[in-house]
Chain A
Amino acid sequence: MALPISLATVLPELILVAAGCAVLLMGQATRESWRRLMPWVALASLAAAIGVVLSQARSPDAWGHPRDAGSGLTYASIAFFVRMSALELGIVLTLVNWSQARRSERGEFLSMMLFSLTGLLLVGPADNLLILFLALELVSIPTYIMVVLGRTRPAGLEAGTKYFFLGALAAAVMAYGFSFLYGVSGTASLSSMVAGVTRALQQPGTLECGLATIGVVLSLGGLLFKIAAVPLHFYVADVYQGAASPVAGLLGFVPKLAGLVAILKIVLIAGPWGGGGTPAFWLLWIIAVASMTVGNVLALRQTNVKRLLAYSGVAHAGYMLVGVLAGPLAGQGDGDGRFGLMGDGVGAALYYVVIYGIANLGAFAVLGLLRVRDEPCETLRDVAGLLRRQPGLALLLVLTMFTLMGLPPTPGFWGKLGLFGSALAASGTTPVPGHGLWLIALVIIAVLNSALAAAYYLRVIAAVLLYENEHPAHAVRNEAQQIGAMLCGFLLLIFMFLPGGLIRAGREATSELAQQVETTTAALHDTSDRSTQ
């Protein structure tokens, strides 16, 4: 019996898993020289995986990419985007976490990071509820370990415990939701499921509709944990504070991208873009508004930079959901009325999650490099007066703050332009008339929220540049970590002046999503036409 999927297609994932195991083994070596090699192995495996992914994209047939459903993995363009951004940021993550592995444990850290990235690579192509669930858990479980590794203080252990239990709860909720979706549609394959679930949702009052609604709501509810959106945001501040700074930087990207892509897949089968007043629209609308507002208001009250960034991450999850609500077809009018960047909300959200990941990681990398009296640098008081002592790191921290604030022309501004513009574009053409005004209201709330957020980012900037400090922070000597932090800064500068490439990548990633929505909508119209006749 032939395997349903060629092993060659999952070669990047296999490379990472192999490297993860190798790093784990090397960590046991007694010779320091072996252990010093561990991060190099991780880097090499990431580079090799990038090479394979690029080669697969160039000649998909030679690598045997299954494009048909049923094998559980579909290599659509969104898979390429997820794999490339995960691997490329993986390199930065390895640099930033370079010395994390050597301090007290034996290679567990880097191997966990590689396993987590493997999960992220699988989330992109997952086309089956089971694979999606397994991939998401492969992303999350290593992060539970990473949070506590090498942490001896009770706060770190408490954070790990909290993160684990809430994560387990969210995973259970999500799996429960998946079971309803499977029950309604009779298939676990996401692409074949669309028709069944959407049809069920189109018939209000029936049992199928109720079950499908429960399925969608529970699945999305569980996924909110991954992107740290309200109401599953409670863990975020404690976990970010308890974890080492570079790990907190990782938590801002890997689970967020995985969660966002999974949410897209679930939203696609629930179909708020295809028409009809589905619960997903209202659910996401309320979550987006609540996340932005709650995240920003809580961040305003923080004096600990790590907690502040954690709550700002909640707000950023809300901004991303604005793009998800706008959908890949935002602004599609009759005929040729579609609006590119401004219209493609999902593409903008994908762009934004990458930019957010880089900026967040950059900020945490700077914090991770700084020590105040040999303690890690955490509070606003600790970073005060940084410009005098560490001008390079200070400017990098300021750049990341301006990016998160969305000040033009930082990459964060291009992201917000895309997210909010797409929601405005969608407002004019959404199939359900009432949704238009709600989308405009969403944009106004989002814009006011980004103004609110400026207040606390400005506090960090003011602390760094305007204040003086009796006990100024000093930087630890760690070349790899410094290179990683600088790399974040360079990436932000590049995307500041040349954002076109990444924006186009985000757009292309959603092109097949858009086609899928179009076909679903067309099919639905056919069935509804037939039923009326």
Chain B
Amino acid sequence: MAALALNLLIFLPLVAAVVVWALPERREALAPRIALAVGLVILVLAGLLWPALPAALDRDGPGALIGQTNVRWIAVGERWDLSDAAGVLHNGFVLRYHVGLDAISLPLVALTGLLVPLSVACSFTGIRTRVREYYAWLLALTTGMIGVFAARDVLLFYIFFEFTLVPLYFLIGIWGGPERRYAANKFFLYTFVGSVITFAGLMYLGLRAAQIHGTSVIDFDLVRLSSLLLGPGGLSAREQSLLFVAFFCGFAIKVPLFPLHTWLPLAHTEAPTAGSVLLAGVLLKLGTYGFLRFALPMVPEGALAWAAPMGVLAVAGIIWGALCCWVQSDVKKLVAYSSVSHLGFCMLGMFSLLPIGLSGSVLYMVNHGLSTGALFLVVGMIYERYHTRNLDQIGGLARQMPILAFFFVLFVLSSIGLPGLNGFVSEFTVLLAAFNSDVLGRWYGVLGATGILLGAVYMLYATGKVLFGPLKEPAGTPDLSAGLTRDLTPREAAILVPIAVLVVVLGVYPRLITDTLDPALQGQVLQRVQVARPGPPLAALTPFGETPVGGTAVEPGKEGG
């Protein structure tokens, strides 16, 4: 049952994409409806999968998978018997269509399932040219995003990872802003160049795995590659270090980590609203997910060796991104740069290599997806009415649009980490981990925390300009020709409400995710890092268990600033 649901999640959007593309021109109005219906089905399916997880974890331990499907896609080798489904292969190569969700990937799939229908719904009025193609690409992108998180075969992951490039390339390049073609090309080439190097690394790892296991069949199974012998007879420290660099090339560009982030503000600014939402909400997570899923467990010694440089880049990204936000006059670009800053936090937590840091990092992925996705939605709604995003041209909108103002403020507060909302939980745990980490150290935490300070400054500054003060509207606006009203329409409000609810729920009760997440991270990632780690076992910090000493004193003080 769960397997059927997961396969539907992956392939239903693709089938729908073909259907939408093939619609005759006079039925064009059906395209958004079909897309929305598919999006809602995805949301329901992702919701149905959620309750299955705790039971599976109790049954199968931290590596438990739900909705597993495992069939051979390509099998090449000698003595391959067609009649024997599980035929013994020899001197060969196997690529499996192996999908399944565990506690790490399920929250991200759920996030995708939530954001897809919302981004479809937010395009109803904004997209008026080449409508069928637009929804077809949006649905194709959905297949890629869910497939990436569900893939349990590393090569399959890579295929979905690259597949996401194509639809987004078209979404940005056809329906984007004035510089859309340049932005789309830059986005595609940046990501592609990095990921081919990652591909070379993955191939090497697959070959080495076969050598280490002493078999003649190359198999890219995720669990198998994440449990290779380290040290003598296995992967040497030098190999791991080089492989980490290969992973870094692909994933760090996707994250994006400073200084490889320059494609992001451009792509975000030029993309249509739905593209920005999905890019920030889901696609950037492919990079962080890649680090968590591949770099850490597959080459733990490499990750350990590079942890400090990664921390430096993360902190640099936090501060650089925040400073860039401060000087932006385009509010969409501001949100885009804030992503650079926020994902720096995410990486900082991950490379603290502490349980609390990893858990906070995954929470951060989800929370950033919610709050930044929501901010892009709100900015898109303003843009549809005023055709500008320039902070100097609009102002005092709160009086005109009180409902929008409410949501705007809520998401801004979530984004800067107000206690009680979701952003706080993840930011706090990530910084706590950085303070306590023995591979990073106190200074990383201190410098990272200034990012929160700067975040509050630029976000509140922008909010003040857009919402409060004297009313400023460009001439001839608001443009309500597309059936909009002055304040949010019920459709737009309905888009924002689910995110607002989750922002509060996850802020109050993050254990919704962490209860299942923590054991999975412990069993799948941290154990591997611990193997590679010299010295005493990991500090016994659990995210929401006993209160650790040292980290807490700093946090509230910073928050007040």
Interface residues of A (CB under 8 A from B): 331, 333, 336-343, 402, 407-409, 413-414, 417, 420-421, 424-425, 428, 443-444, 447-448, 450-451, 454-455, 458, 462, 465-467, 499-500, 503-504, 507
The 5 closest A-B pairs by CB, nearest first: A340-B92, A341-B93, A408-B159, A451-B193, A341-B76
Question: Is B174 in the interface zone, CB < 8 Å from A?
Answer: yes
- Report the Cα distance A417→B159, complex, angstroms: 12
With contact pairs A331-B207, A458-B185, A465-B173 given, residues A338 and B196 touching in the complex (Cβ less than 8 Å): no
Interface residues of B (CB under 8 A from A): 74-78, 80, 89-93, 155, 158-159, 162-163, 165-166, 170, 173-174, 180-181, 184-185, 188-189, 192-193, 196-197, 199-200, 203-204, 206-207, 210-211, 214, 216-218
Question: Which listed residue (A337, A402, A420) contacts B166, Cβ 8 A?
Answer: A402
Q: Are B163 and A465 in contact (CB under 8 A)?
A: no
30 A–B contact pairs at CB < 8 A? A336-B91, A337-B211, A339-B91, A339-B210, A339-B218, A340-B77, A340-B89, A341-B77, A341-B92, A408-B158, A408-B162, A409-B159, A413-B159, A417-B203, A420-B203, A421-B206, A424-B204, A424-B207, A443-B200, A448-B197, A451-B189, A455-B189, A458-B185, A462-B173, A462-B184, A462-B185, A465-B170, A465-B174, A466-B184, A503-B76
Question: Which listed residue (B80, B158, B189) contacts A454, Cβ 8 A?
Answer: B189
B-side contacts of A331, CB under 8 Å: 207
With contact pairs A402-B166, A408-B159 given, residues A507 and B76 touching in the complex (Cβ less than 8 Å): yes
Q: Are B91 and A466 in contact (CB under 8 A)?
A: no
Find the residue from A336, A342, A448 having the highest chain B CB count within 10 A.
A342
Q: Are B174 and A466 in contact (CB under 8 A)?
A: yes
- Report the Cα distance A413→B193, complex, angstroms: 15
- Report the Cα distance A339→B193, complex, angstroms: 27
A200 to chain B minimum Cβ distance, whole angstroms, is 32
Find the residue from A338, A341, A503 having the highest chain B CB count within 10 A.
A341
- Report the Cα distance A448→B159, complex, angstroms: 18
Q: Are A337 and B173 in contact (CB under 8 A)?
A: no
Across the interface, name the chain B residue whose C-beta is closest to A466.
B173
A514 to chain B minimum Cβ distance, whole angstroms, is 10
B-side contacts of A424, CB under 8 Å: 200, 203-204, 207
Instruction: Report whether over half of chain B's contact residues are helix, strand or loop; otherwise say mixed.
Output: helix
A262 to chain B minimum Cβ distance, whole angstroms, is 26
A300 to chain B minimum Cβ distance, whole angstroms, is 12
A-side contacts of B211, CB under 8 Å: 333, 337, 428
- Report the Cα distance A342→B207, complex, angstroms: 8
A492 to chain B minimum Cβ distance, whole angstroms, is 15
Q: Are A458 and B188 in contact (CB under 8 A)?
A: yes
A471 to chain B minimum Cβ distance, whole angstroms, is 20
Across the interface, name the chain B residue whose C-beta is closest to A443.
B200
Q: Are B92 and A444 in contact (CB under 8 A)?
A: no
- Report the Cα distance A348→B158, complex, angstroms: 20
Q: Are A343 and B91 in contact (CB under 8 A)?
A: yes
Q: Are A499 and B74 in contact (CB under 8 A)?
A: yes
A-side contacts of B174, CB under 8 Å: 465-466
With contact pairs A407-B166, A428-B207, A458-B188 given, residues A339 and B196 touching in the complex (Cβ less than 8 Å): no
B-side contacts of A500, CB under 8 Å: 74-76
B-side contacts of A454, CB under 8 Å: 188-189, 192-193
- Report the Cα distance A8→B71, complex, angstroms: 44
Known: A339-B92, A451-B196, A454-B189. 10 other contacts (CB 8 A): A340-B91, A341-B93, A341-B218, A343-B91, A407-B162, A409-B163, A425-B207, A448-B197, A465-B173, A503-B74
A-side contacts of B173, CB under 8 Å: 462, 465-466
- Report the Cα distance A337→B214, complex, angstroms: 7
- Report the Cα distance A7→B185, complex, angstroms: 57
B-side contacts of A466, CB under 8 Å: 170, 173-174, 180-181, 184
A-side contacts of B214, CB under 8 Å: 337
- Report the Cα distance A462→B181, complex, angstroms: 8
- Report the Cα distance A462→B186, complex, angstroms: 12
A-side contacts of B76, CB under 8 Å: 340-341, 500, 503-504, 507
A-side contacts of B193, CB under 8 Å: 451, 454
B-side contacts of A503, CB under 8 Å: 74, 76
A-side contacts of B181, CB under 8 Å: 462, 466-467
With contact pairs A339-B91, A339-B216 given, residues A408 and B163 touching in the complex (Cβ less than 8 Å): yes
Question: Which listed residue (A333, A342, A450) contacts B203, Cβ 8 A?
Answer: A342
A441 to chain B minimum Cβ distance, whole angstroms, is 12
- Report the Cα distance A208→B200, complex, angstroms: 41
Across the interface, name the chain B residue whose C-beta is closest to A421.
B203
B-side contacts of A408, CB under 8 Å: 158-159, 162-163
Across the interface, name the chain B residue whose C-beta is closest to A450.
B196
Q: Are B188 and A421 in contact (CB under 8 A)?
A: no
Across the interface, name the chain A residue whose C-beta is closest to B21.
A391
- Report the Cα distance A296→B91, complex, angstroms: 34
B-side contacts of A455, CB under 8 Å: 189
Across the interface, name the chain B residue whose C-beta is closest to A455.
B189
A296 to chain B minimum Cβ distance, whole angstroms, is 13
A-side contacts of B216, CB under 8 Å: 336-340
B-side contacts of A402, CB under 8 Å: 166
A154 to chain B minimum Cβ distance, whole angstroms, is 36
A476 to chain B minimum Cβ distance, whole angstroms, is 24
- Report the Cα distance A339→B76, complex, angstroms: 10
